[in-house]
Amino acid sequence: MKLHVKFSISDLSVDDVIEGDGVADITHKAKLAIAERLGFLAGAFVRSMPDLEFAREVVRRYNGATGANCALPATVDRFVEWAIEQKLASAIE
């Protein structure tokens, strides 16, 4: 599975293709990629988060930055669906 993640919100811009063995693997790799961009302390905090909590934090921050009121995902599958729905990501065949 491949996902093209592309967005610019606040001071974070991402334009990456993430490849993985499924939604859980892609979510985990996305978390690690974001952690790399955040610096040592914030990155360490993000890396320590469970993947689902990372997904929920992404939605929280998206809501805060855009004024949206998106529901927090119950699963990482729903998180990826949400990212595609919000046009923050697209599946690559």
Write out pLDDT tens, residues 21-47: 999 999 999 999 999 988 899 999 999
| Higher-scoring residue by pLDDT: 77, 7 | 77
pLDDT at 9 > cutoff 90: no
For residues 75 and 3, give the distance between their C-alpha atoms in angstroms, rounded to a whole number: 17
| SS3 label, residue 71 | coil
* 84 touches 31 (CB < 8 A): no
Tell me the average pLDDT of the chain: 94
The pairing of beta strand 12-19 with beta strand 2-9: antiparallel
Positive or negative: CA dihedral 23, 29, 30, 31: positive
* Element containing residue 9 per DSSP (H, E): strand 2-9
